[in-house]
Amino acid sequence: MGQITANFFISLDGVVERPDQWHFPYFNDEMGAVIGAGMETYDAFLMGRVLYGEWSQYWPSASADQEFGAFINAIPKYVVSDSLESADWTNTTLLRGDTAAARLRELKETTPGGIGMSGSATLVRWLLAENLLDRLDLLIHPIAVGHGARLFEDTPTYPLELLRQTTLSTGVLHATYAPAKP
């Protein structure tokens, strides 16, 4: 059975928006290995409308020798959106409306490996509300950004259980959480 794992670069103050402006000084081979190890477990990839809009414009025409480009173009992709009319990127299925949660439950049942996702804080909050998120994999950067969208804004309380953590040489904390069992 597939498990949905959400991955985020996140600052100490909870900001997940625009990591391109604060994340790269902390990226090294060690972090690349962590990200690569996660990618190796995925048989499908989930995203929200905004991320789909950005990535579907860039990755299909990116250089074929880019490891992530080859991965994301080949893997089955699922986009949760009520506003998109179509999702034309190769291997992409659009999940809309009231049936999205049920279709994701079916996807989890039929996917042997993991279902990864990157970014999409709004989608993560929806997945938690629908009891669909299995793992939250955070790379917590030792920086307070001070502004930008946070992972959890105006949400109910979601108790989480720490499954594992390691500290990278750059001071980034790699922490994996799951929704706490009631």
pLDDT along the chain (182 residues), means of 10: 93 93 94 92 94 90 76 93 91 91 94 91 93 96 94 89 97 96 80
107 shares a domain with 48: yes
Count of domains observed in the chain:
2
Task: Report residue 94: phi and psi, to 5°.
Answer: -95, 130
- Cα distances (angstroms) measured from residue 108 to each of 90, 101, 115: 21, 11, 8
Structure confidence at residue 102 (pLDDT): 94
pTM over cut 0.95: no
d(Cα 67, Cα 81) in Å, to the nearest integer?
Answer: 27
Residue 178 lies in a domain: no
Per-residue pLDDT, 153: 86
Examine the domain organization and report whether 46 and 100 are in the same domain. yes
38 vs 144: CA distance, rounded Å:
26
Q: Is residue 5 part of a domain?
A: no
Report if residue 73 sits inside a domain. yes
141 and 164 share one domain: yes
Residue 101 in domain:
yes
Domain that holds residue 150: 10-16+29-41+129-169
Q: Are residues 47 and 105 in the same domain?
A: yes
Q: Does residue 92 belong to any structural domain of this protein?
A: yes
Token couple for 179 = 């929704």
Residues 73 and 96 grouped into a single domain:
yes
pLDDT in the model for residue 32: 92
pLDDT of residue 100: 94
Sign, CA dihedral 157-143-173-118, equals positive
Residues 37 and 50 in one domain: no
Name the strand (E) or helix (H) holding 163.
strand 160-167
